[in-house]
Homo-oligomer: A and B are copies of this chain.
Amino acid sequence: MAMLSVHTSPLHQPGTGDAGGMNVYIVEVSKRLAQAGVEIEVFTRTTGRDLPQCAELAPGVTVRHISAGPFEGLAKEDLPAQLCAFTHGVLGVEAARPPGWYDLLASHYWLSGQVGWLAKDRWGVPLVHTAHTLAKVKNLQLAAGDRAEPMGRVVGEEQVVEQADRLVANTPTEARELIDLYGAPLERVAIVAPGVDLQRFRPGSRAAARARLGLPERGRIVAFVGRIQPLKAPDVLIRALAESDSADVTALIVGGPSGSGLDRPTALIELADTLGVRDRVRFLPPQAGDRLADVYRAADVVAVPSHNESFGLVALEAQACGTPVVAAAVGGLVTAVRDGISGVLIDGHDPAIWGRVLDKLLAEPKRLAELSAGALRHAHDFSWDRTAERLLDVYGEAMTEHRARRELELAGCARW
């Protein structure tokens, strides 16, 4: 199968630039699909001079770099103008192969969905699309100071919803959004929960984790992990810290600037200065692999204050490490966190309320321990193996239906 990921590569480090949970998703799912015998080619835009035309991500998973626009300096807003170029590259790869090389197209994010629409018709294969985020949802829950998503994206998403043979939603919430806001037909929406890497993200010594990351042994840590941009709302954690009564709490912000966060990359530091909590905020660049697990282990609580999340993989990773999560009650986070059992969900982003909830939680070691146990149990309901299994079912359905429809069309032609 061909997997399309135009705007961000599975080879990128999540937590910086445009790379985030979707990159983890593509990597983990591709690996497991390949283990199940599916040959995967992931198409992504070339963003560096030294990138090879194709690279093996894992056995059976090839990443193909497609030239479409300059390697550097193109923002996500510039990418719609590059979709013809990208499509040209994708179609060129297929044209060099024997006919019928690909059986299925899976696209991630609307930009890829647009390319998938053209390739699907050309190749005569079904398209399974995963939106990951939706413009209409984002615009309804816009962070202060964030830019609304443009009409071009809204329309582009609507078209992909109309054209895809199957729409994969990460959560029931996302499925409802696809149906209510985008008019997706119920029978074409499949809910498939993302997973979490339970081998990498597992409980471990807090003291050892802090030592490895160079963090103080004592005191409490509330961690934020994600791209630094208004949508992810790391400022809410810093404001909550300023409202908090406990002086021994440190906010640990892990991630790099992204999207509209790039307009003022130092905004968070300035905010902490203004609020007089600069010495209680620590910043770390995006962390990979085991070091990321250490971040979750080092924290007493992980905060996910996003204005919107289609899922919120960070919340699940933290829980898999046994760390309770305090999250905004939006989008997929309502699924990713079980309120009162694996963490706490908060309505809205009022720093006073966030500060109070964090204070109360950190003052009750017994409750923290209970939530930690609940978090572990909850995380174990999710696994990438199960995600891949469910996806294989969805792919199979899409292919069967697509074949049946084509045969019907051909039969129709013959009768006529």
Contact = CB atoms under 8 A, between A and B. Distances in A.
A152 B84 contact: no
Contacts of A75: 151
Contacts of A85: 114, 117, 156, 159
A329 to B, nearest CB: 32
A70 to B, nearest CB: 6
A207 interface: no
A151 B84 contact: no
B121 A74 contact: no
A155 B84 contact: no
A172 interface: no
Contacts of A79: 152
Interface string A130-153: 000000000000000000001111
B118 A82 contact: no
A2 interface: no
- Total copies of this chain within the assembly: 2
Contact of A91 (B73, B81, B121, B155): B121
Contacts of A150: 77-78, 81
A201 to B, nearest CB: 37
A270 B69 CA distance: 42
- Most chain B CB neighbours (cut-off 10 Å) among A73, A77, A150, A151: A151
Interface string A45-85: 00000000000000000000000011001110111111111
Contact of A114 (B74, B81, B115): B81
A152 B81 contact: yes
Contact of A118 (B70, B87, B114, B159): B87
B80 A81 contact: yes
A69 B155 contact: yes
A219 to B, nearest CB: 46
Interface size class of A (residues with CB under 8 A): 20 to 34
A222 B91 CA distance: 54
Contact of A153 (B81, B83, B87): B81
Contacts of A83: 80-81, 83-84
Contact of A88 (B73, B78, B118): B118
A78 B74 CA distance: 17
Contacts of A88: 117-118, 121
B114 A84 contact: yes
A74 B117 contact: no
Interface in A164-196: none
A94 to B, nearest CB: 12
Contacts of A156: 81-82, 84-85
Nearest to A74: B151
A78 B121 contact: no
A152 B77 contact: yes
Interface string A84-102: 1101100110000000000
A118 B69 CA distance: 15
A61 to B, nearest CB: 26
A306 to B, nearest CB: 25
B117 A82 contact: no
Given A73-B151, A82-B156, A91-B122, 12 more contacts: A69-B155, A78-B150, A78-B152, A80-B80, A81-B150, A81-B155, A81-B156, A82-B152, A83-B84, A84-B84, A88-B117, A92-B121
5 contacts: A69-B152, A69-B159, A81-B152, A82-B156, A91-B118
